[in-house]
């Protein structure tokens, strides 16, 4: 690893000031949250920052709030901590499944949703799951705070919308409506410890009769960024989420995919499997939503 400096500001203002200082000098400052991707990249000399700004001591990045209308997840909360919050897991099972799939138990102890998002890997598990439930990124910099949806935040492989001097503080998620549920599935060759070869996040909302009235479907690892697939959502809306609707959504996902062949999978394989995942994840989301409907939540 190349040498760099390390600072751990204890407030948003300090963090913003630290980042601004380096932005002004044109130095590359790298924000550190869980570090599970970053430390590997540093070791491989894939990135060579001048300074690491550890945001884990900033209170806001550790804040978890389950509000009446909105959920806030601080950018530096490890996935394991999120998954120990049973209320959060009940509210957003799909997103939390995705968070739970990132790496081993050890990785879970460090890896964060914010880091997974900022790392902007095409295969990042939580990104399609976030897009499916309509997550907004809360960004802070010298010019104040701004928000943008996840699907706009990720610009390309390893590229995000943060400008020099900005960092991701946390994620805002609309609290799921009644008769709503999400699900995430990914494909890996082993049962654990792999990077997604394809992934699919789905959220559905049923009406009182059990028809799908809203849906969002996002796919990962089959394009340079995770993408929202409106055609898949259209195939689901207005249906009972029966087999035919699921098959149509699956086909839409396969169509929307523009995968590559690499060490993890082939174009054909990814295209086919992302459809399978869409079908299976949608069925899980549907069953969850029906269960909630039955409970009247």
Closer residue to another protein in complex, CB, 111/235: 111
Candidates 107-115, 127-135, 175-183, 230-238 — which segment interacts with another protein by CB under 8 A?
Answer: 107-115
Contact call for residue 264 and another protein (CB under 8 A): yes
Minimum CB separation of residue 222 from another protein in Å reads: 14
Question: Of the candidates 249, 241, 246, 233, which has an alpha carbon nearest to the alpha carbon of residue 206?
Answer: 241
Contact call for residue 187 and another protein (CB under 8 A): yes
Minimum CB separation of residue 274 from another protein in Å reads: 10
Say if CB 116 and CB 125 are below 8 A apart. yes
Minimum CB separation of residue 192 from another protein in Å reads: 4
- The CA-to-CA distance between both ends of the chain, in Å, stands at 51
Minimum CB separation of residue 89 from another protein in Å reads: 15
Residue 4's SS3 state is: coil
Contact call for residue 94 and another protein (CB under 8 A): no
- What residues from 35 to 64 belong to the interface with another protein (CB under 8 A)? 35-36, 39-40, 42-43, 52, 54, 56
Binding mask 10-39 for another protein (x = CB under 8 A): ----------------------x--xx--x
Beta strands in the chain (DSSP E): 5-7, 29-32, 51-54, 64-66, 70-74, 136-141, 144-149, 154-156, 159-160, 167-174, 180-187, 198-206, 212-220, 227-228
Q: Which residues contact 227 (CB under 8 A, 6 or more apart)?
A: 131, 151, 218, 219, 256
| C-alpha separations of 93 from 14, 146, 232, 274, 282 in Å | 35, 27, 20, 20, 13
Neighbours of 288 (CB within 10 A): 20
- What residues from 188 to 247 belong to the interface with another protein (CB under 8 A)? 189-195, 197
- Contacting positions for another protein (CB under 8 A): 1-6, 8, 32, 35-36, 39-40, 42-43, 52, 54, 56, 78, 80, 103-107, 109-110, 187, 189-195, 197, 262-266, 268-269, 272-273, 276
């Amino acid at each position: 690893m190349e040498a760099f400096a390390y600072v751990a500001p204890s407030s948003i203002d300090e963090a913003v000031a630290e980042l601004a200082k380096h932005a002004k000098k044109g130095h590359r400052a790298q924000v550190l949250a869980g570090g599970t991707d970053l430390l590997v990249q540093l070791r491989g000399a894939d990135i060579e920052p001048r300074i690491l700004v550890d945001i884990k001591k900033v209170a806001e990045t550790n804040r978890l709030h389950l509000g009446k209308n909105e959920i806030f997840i601080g950018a530096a909360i490890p996935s394991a901590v999120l998954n120990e919050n049973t209320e959060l897991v009940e509210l957003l099972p799909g997103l939390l499944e995705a968070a739970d799939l990132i790496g081993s138990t050890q990785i879970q102890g460090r890896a964060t949703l914010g880091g997974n998002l900022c790392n902007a890997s095409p295969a990042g598990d939580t990104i399609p799951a976030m897009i499916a439930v309509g997550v907004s990124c809360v960004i802070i910099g010298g010019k104040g705070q701004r928000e943008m949806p996840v699907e706009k935040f990720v610009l390309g492989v390893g590229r995000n919308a943060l400008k020099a001097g900005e960092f991701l503080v946390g994620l805002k998620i609309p609290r799921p409506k009644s008769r709503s549920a999400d699900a995430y599935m990914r494909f890996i060759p082993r049962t654990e410890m792999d990077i997604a070869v394809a992934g699919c996040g789905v959220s559905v909302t049923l009406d009182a009769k059990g028809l799908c009235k809203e849906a969002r479907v996002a796919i990962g690892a089959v394009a340079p960024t995770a993408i929202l697939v409106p055609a898949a959502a259209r195939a689901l809306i207005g249906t009972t989420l029966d087999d035919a609707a699921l098959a149509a959504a699956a086909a839409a996902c396969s169509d929307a995919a523009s995968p590559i062949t690499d060490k993890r999978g082939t174009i054909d394989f990814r295209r086919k499997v992302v459809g399978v995942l869409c079908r299976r994840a949608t069925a899980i989301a549907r069953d969850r939503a029906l269960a909630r409907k039955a409970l009247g939540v």
